[in-house]
Amino acid sequence: MPLSEFAQVSRRMAGDEETAAANRSWWDAEAGEYYAEHGAFLGDADFVWGPEGWRESELGLLGEVSGRRVLEIGAGAGQCARWLAGQGAVVVASDLSIGMLRTGVNLNQRVSDPRLAVPLVQCDALELPFADATFDAVFTSYGAVPFVSDSDGLVREAARVLRPGGRLVFSTTHPFRWAFPDDPGPGGLTVTQSYFDRTPYVEADSDGEATYVEHHRTLGDRVRDIAAAGLVLADLVEPEWPERNEETWGGWSPLRGRLVPGTAIFVCTKP
Ligand SMILES: C[S@@+](CC[C@H](N)C(=O)[O-])C[C@H]1O[C@@H](n2cnc3c(N)ncnc32)[C@H](O)[C@@H]1O
């Protein structure tokens, strides 16, 4: 959860439209800063699953990708998609925010190998502009999932564009984190609110207009979204903090990462 200097923070309801409008303009405005802060960690054509720093080259959660059609949702600047293109996947990177995609255009122009310049599509993960059963795999690393109120709709939409036998893999903040303050230090180790409270986290401007919204779901909610979309949960990866990583990313830090999970990666298949 970011916190701009003048934001009013509250827990209150925020529906689909308010959430999408707030998050689209927040990510448009923050795209440059996000890349300046995290670009080196992410790499321009690399695939990192979260602040722990585990890569797809180590975890292999998407399986064999060469020659496969893969869609990234909430792709940001499309770093993961670029890495997959390097592995021979036929990949499309999509995101709600034109600001994030603009960074993707710059990275496409900067990569030394033109085969890594991936197609970029602006769309909401809730309304993908693709036909049913188009892709062998759909994934996101920390994109879209906590930024929509209709979380079951997001999983349903991803399942729709997957072919039978395809895979949906998404990483997101571990639901357990919701109960703790977003503090990388010792203050982030004490429960301060209910894990069961799904009321969204909302930052608003002085007129009360939402400028950033995050939606929480429990682990059970996520499992039910997956089952309701007709998918099978094949694995739930809770990556441990590796010794090699001394970097802090927002509320994620070596201190907390060695004690409690920071990321949950859901690996789902479509029968
Ligand atoms: C934390 S960033 C992650 C970006 C990228 N995956 C990465 O690892 O850098 C979250 C991304 O989700 C995107 N996003 C938010 N809501 C979305 C939605 N409804 N549909 C698609 N993308 C969305 C944002 O624009 C942003 O690029």
How would you write 127-193 as a 3-class SS string? CCCCCCCCEEEEEEECCCHHHCCCHHHHHHHHHHHEEEEEEEEEEEECHHHHHCCCCCCHHHHCCCC
Residue 106 confidence (pLDDT):
98
**Count of positions (residues) in the chain:** 271
pTM of the complete model beyond 0.95: yes
- Residue located nearest, by CA, to atom 3 of ligand 1: 143
* Residue among 147, 182, 263 whose CB has most ligand 1 atoms within 8 A, to mutate: 147
The model's pLDDT over 72-123, given as tens digits with 9 standing for 90+, comes to 999 999 999 999 999 999 999 999 999 999 999 999 999 989 999 999 999 9
- Residue located nearest, by CA, to atom 15 of ligand 1: 144
Residue 173, ligand 1, Cβ within 6 A: no
Whether 118 and 148 have beta carbons less than 8 Å apart is answered as no
The model's pLDDT over 143-158, given as tens digits with 9 standing for 90+, comes to 999 999 999 999 999 9
Residue 118 confidence (pLDDT):
98
CA dist 220 and 63 (Å) reads 25
* Residue among 1, 16, 27, 41 whose CB has most ligand 1 atoms within 8 A, to mutate: 27
Ligand 1 centroid to Cα of residue 5, in Å, is: 22
Domain residue ranges in the chain:
8-269
Per the DSSP assignment, residues forming a β-bridge with 214 are 201
Query: Which DSSP symbol is given to 116?
Result: G
Whether 132 and 163 have beta carbons less than 8 Å apart is answered as no
CA dist 66 and 60 (Å) reads 12
Residue 112 confidence (pLDDT):
86
Query: What is the phi/psi pair of residue 93, to 5°?
Result: -105, 130
Q: Counting atoms of ligand 1 from 1, which one is nearest the CA of 27?
A: 25
Query: Which DSSP symbol is given to 245?
Result: -
Ligand 1 centroid to Cα of residue 247, in Å, is: 21
pLDDT tens, position by position, for the chain (271 residues)? 565 556 799 999 999 999 999 999 999 999 999 999 999 999 999 999 999 999 999 999 999 999 999 999 999 999 999 999 999 999 999 999 999 999 999 999 999 899 999 999 999 999 999 999 999 999 999 999 999 999 999 999 999 999 999 999 999 999 999 999 999 999 999 999 999 999 999 999 999 999 999 999 999 999 999 999 999 999 999 999 999 999 999 999 999 999 999 999 999 999 9
Query: Which DSSP symbol is given to 52?
Result: T
- Residue located nearest, by CA, to atom 8 of ligand 1: 141
Residue 4 confidence (pLDDT):
59
* Neighbouring C-beta atoms of residue 33, cutoff 10 Å: 10
* Neighbouring C-beta atoms of residue 185, cutoff 10 Å: 12
Residue 100, ligand 1, Cβ within 6 A: yes
Q: Does domain 8-269 have CATH number 3.40.50.150?
A: yes
Question: Could you identify the residue written with the tokens 């997001």?
Answer: 154
Dihedral, CA of residue 239, residue 245, residue 250 and residue 252, to nearest 10: 40
Residue 6 confidence (pLDDT):
61
Q: Which two tokens stand for residue 108?
A: 């496409």
